[in-house]
A and B are shown apart, each in its own frame.
Chain A
């Protein structure tokens, strides 16, 4: 039977993700299903607020939801590891690694009331500031718009304060002095015009913000066997990588533009400075470990699992 699936996300329709990976993924499913699976996309929070996309998917408001688990601090303690600094050095291969690491038991434990499909991180995000941020001490006293709850914690451990505004309002917050710096991938410099305000960029790859694509259980369960097979073929670690490539390419393009723009300063910390940053990130990892322990998980084993998967895909931060 023919089905049309409602896919809800919160990005603007012209963003790289809906334009590249998401579109490619939908087209491929429609083709592989012989046209029996089509999609109706609801961008820009049309069906609900960004942090609600998990619940909306579980509750059937959307058949498929594009979810950032980092928007709801404390709800997915295992998955929050993906946002801890200094784990992965690129986006698409990390997508595959995170998928391999999370999709089995962990997804069943934390996201058991939905059908897990794939993982979509951006290229590693960095600090971008109105003033120089070369070493961890430079963050002290700054107001930073962090990417997610884990980065908020990192900023706090450095003596900064976090300012929470939605991504599209980050530029405004910088312009008004509410924020002095942001953590973002390079692409946000362009899509949200953040580069108008932040002329200093610390080029050290720092952290990921990793979205997941989830199916409503009934929506998935209601498909025919053939259709399910098509979806299963599109919910693989390989598709996680493929889904994430367009975003990464766009990000690299924006980075080149900023590198070549004389208005901007792009700073790459020395090895000694990177060591300072990595040491400064340890409390954030420790805090994550405590959260997972409190939630009944084994943090060392979980961490080793992700590190091994990243290493196997050649993107472990060493």
Chain B
């Protein structure tokens, strides 16, 4: 091991120690970034990184779409669009056996189409769908498991804040990434619905009989969601707007619709802005740290060494890919999904490109891997969020309920790894 390798290894150890004692993740990365850079180049230039780099990060125009998409999601949550979505999904899909569960997946997908956050999707659906399923006699495990899994659609179906950050880090077109998420997202919806029907269906009550008039009325009420999705995603797909413009347009339209329908007032609008600001600043803090950490990686050549090491293992293309995915799942046990993408993607990305994998496709695969971390024990953010709202349901119950969906997710990952065209044909047609 060279001196720089030792510094790199030491840097990672200190990084994890700092994170473990609850130093904010971005700050831990920043400290190790500056300190490690200083070990190689001297302390003075390293401290000078702080004069330019954080300022450059917060003034980077390419990052402005993050607060815009966060704001759009917060506004959509606040204006109660999830309620209409659930009603519409229930009116169309609810008559099946297990129809409420299937409708919940559909409502999650609809909400994911305007909200870029999985946790927010899970939270709002817990509010709406959980009481309905309880009333219909669903077990706690099924009811919460469906929502936990359905919530993961939030970061796969566009818009997605995590995919946007992936695109920023890897310099990939964010619009293409969003469009690439559509087919895997729809595949997930289909597979989740089938899981509800086939795995739980026999034990679940039948839904209310189908009524055409109610279905049409309920569908008419989701015009706002449809309009927003079209305004944002179609304008990206058709090349009418950049992702940043689409994000701002989406946020403004969501606010206007909410105000016009009386769902938002001045006070709640301000509240949404504050909420979006807090979430965005938390992401910015990680990005500031990650970019400082990136200089440390550059001078110690960690990505190059990591690439060489992984390729020398001789696991082959798919073996290496699976190893990387396992690494993400393990880290998902204690790292936030966003933090994981920001910390780990720069390190493994050179390997992926060297192995000849498509960067857009890898973005979708790694986001799906991260999604898996949101619903697997011991730590699953979506599960925790549901637990914090539906207080009396134990974590174990939720994890038990979500297990079939985890298995289905693994199957979906395998399909998309074997048939990358499913991910890529839409963005390639842009």
Query: A and B: direct contact (Cβ < 8 Å)?
Result: yes
Report A's interface with B, CB cutoff 8 A.
6, 42, 46-49, 51-52, 55-56, 59-61, 164, 168, 172-173, 175-178
A173 vs B244: C-alpha distance when bound (angstroms): 12
Q: Smallest CB–CB gap between A28 and chain B, Å?
A: 25
Given contacts A48-B49, A60-B45, 9 further A-B contacts (CB under 8 A): A46-B298, A49-B52, A52-B53, A55-B51, A59-B48, A61-B41, A61-B295, A168-B171, A173-B242
Question: How many residues on B have C-beta within 8 angstroms of the other chain's C-beta atoms?
Answer: 25
List of B residues within 8 angstroms of A177 by Cβ: 239-240
Are the C-beta atoms of A56 and B52 separated by less than 8 Å? yes
The 10 closest A-B pairs by CB, nearest first: A59-B48, A60-B45, A46-B298, A52-B52, A49-B56, A176-B239, A61-B45, A55-B52, A176-B242, A178-B242
A47 vs B33: C-alpha distance when bound (angstroms): 12
Name, among A6, A56, A176, the residue most crowded by chain B CB atoms within 10 Å (CB to CB): A176
Are the C-beta atoms of B242 and A48 separated by less than 8 Å? no
List of B residues within 8 angstroms of A42 by Cβ: 298-299
Are the C-beta atoms of B53 and A176 separated by less than 8 Å? no
A59 vs B37: C-alpha distance when bound (angstroms): 14
Residue B173 lies at the interface, judged by CB distance under 8 Å to chain A? yes
List of A residues within 8 angstroms of B42 by Cβ: 60
Name, among A55, A59, A177, the residue most crowded by chain B CB atoms within 10 Å (CB to CB): A59
- Pick the residue among B44, B53, B61 that contacts A48 (CB under 8 A): B53
- Give 1 or 0 for each of B6-42: 1 = CB within 8 Å of chain A CB: 0000000000000000000000000000000000011
Residue B273 lies at the interface, judged by CB distance under 8 Å to chain A? no
- Pick the residue among B48, B175, B294 that contacts A61 (CB under 8 A): B48
Are the C-beta atoms of B56 and A52 separated by less than 8 Å? yes
Residue B241 lies at the interface, judged by CB distance under 8 Å to chain A? yes
A308 vs B409: C-alpha distance when bound (angstroms): 70
A42 vs B40: C-alpha distance when bound (angstroms): 14
Which B residues between 166 and 199 are near A, CB-CB below 8 angstroms? 171, 173, 175
Report B's interface with A, CB cutoff 8 A.
41-42, 44-46, 48-49, 51-53, 56, 60-61, 171, 173, 175, 239-242, 245, 294-295, 298-299
A164 vs B60: C-alpha distance when bound (angstroms): 12
Chain B, Cβ-Cβ closest to A44: B171
With A47-B298, A49-B56 as contacts: A60 and B240 at CB distance below 8 Å: no
Q: List 24 A-B contacts (CB under 8 A).
A: A6-B41, A42-B298, A42-B299, A46-B295, A47-B295, A48-B53, A49-B52, A49-B56, A51-B56, A52-B56, A55-B48, A55-B51, A55-B52, A56-B48, A56-B52, A60-B41, A60-B42, A60-B45, A61-B295, A164-B61, A172-B173, A176-B175, A176-B242, A178-B245
List of A residues within 8 angstroms of B298 by Cβ: 42, 46-47
List of B residues within 8 angstroms of A59 by Cβ: 45, 48, 51-52
Chain B, Cβ-Cβ closest to A175: B239
Q: Smallest CB–CB gap between B170 and chain A, Å?
A: 12
- Pick the residue among A48, A164, A176 that contacts B56 (CB under 8 A): A48
List of A residues within 8 angstroms of B175 by Cβ: 176
List of B residues within 8 angstroms of A164 by Cβ: 61
A177 vs B175: C-alpha distance when bound (angstroms): 14
List of B residues within 8 angstroms of A60 by Cβ: 41-42, 44-45, 48
A252 vs B6: C-alpha distance when bound (angstroms): 47
A113 vs B241: C-alpha distance when bound (angstroms): 43
List of A residues within 8 angstroms of B299 by Cβ: 6, 42, 47
Are the C-beta atoms of B240 and A48 separated by less than 8 Å? no
List of A residues within 8 angstroms of B173 by Cβ: 172
Chain B, Cβ-Cβ closest to A42: B298
A59 vs B46: C-alpha distance when bound (angstroms): 9
List of A residues within 8 angstroms of B45 by Cβ: 59-61
A164 vs B59: C-alpha distance when bound (angstroms): 14
List of A residues within 8 angstroms of B51 by Cβ: 55, 59
With A6-B41, A172-B173 as contacts: A48 and B239 at CB distance below 8 Å: no
List of A residues within 8 angstroms of B61 by Cβ: 164
With A47-B295, A49-B56, A60-B41 as contacts: A176 and B241 at CB distance below 8 Å: yes
Q: Smallest CB–CB gap between B359 and chain A, Å?
A: 14
A121 vs B49: C-alpha distance when bound (angstroms): 28
Chain B, Cβ-Cβ closest to A164: B61
A172 vs B236: C-alpha distance when bound (angstroms): 12
Chain A, Cβ-Cβ closest to B57: A49
A101 vs B355: C-alpha distance when bound (angstroms): 49
Chain A, Cβ-Cβ closest to B239: A176
A307 vs B217: C-alpha distance when bound (angstroms): 75
A175 vs B294: C-alpha distance when bound (angstroms): 31
List of A residues within 8 angstroms of B245 by Cβ: 178
Are the C-beta atoms of B241 and A48 separated by less than 8 Å? no
A55 vs B51: C-alpha distance when bound (angstroms): 9
Chain A, Cβ-Cβ closest to B235: A176
Chain A, Cβ-Cβ closest to B40: A6
A18 vs B173: C-alpha distance when bound (angstroms): 25
Are the C-beta atoms of B52 and A48 separated by less than 8 Å? yes
A60 vs B299: C-alpha distance when bound (angstroms): 14
Q: Smallest CB–CB gap between A46 and chain B, Å?
A: 4
Q: Smallest CB–CB gap between B242 and chain A, Å?
A: 5
Chain B, Cβ-Cβ closest to A43: B298
A222 vs B48: C-alpha distance when bound (angstroms): 19
A164 vs B41: C-alpha distance when bound (angstroms): 33
Q: Smallest CB–CB gap between B283 and chain A, Å?
A: 19
Are the C-beta atoms of B295 and A48 separated by less than 8 Å? yes
A6 vs B408: C-alpha distance when bound (angstroms): 49
Q: Smallest CB–CB gap between A165 and chain B, Å?
A: 9
Chain A, Cβ-Cβ closest to B53: A48
Chain B, Cβ-Cβ closest to A219: B45
A175 vs B239: C-alpha distance when bound (angstroms): 7
List of B residues within 8 angstroms of A46 by Cβ: 294-295, 298
Chain A, Cβ-Cβ closest to B48: A59
Chain B, Cβ-Cβ closest to A54: B52
List of A residues within 8 angstroms of B295 by Cβ: 46-48, 61
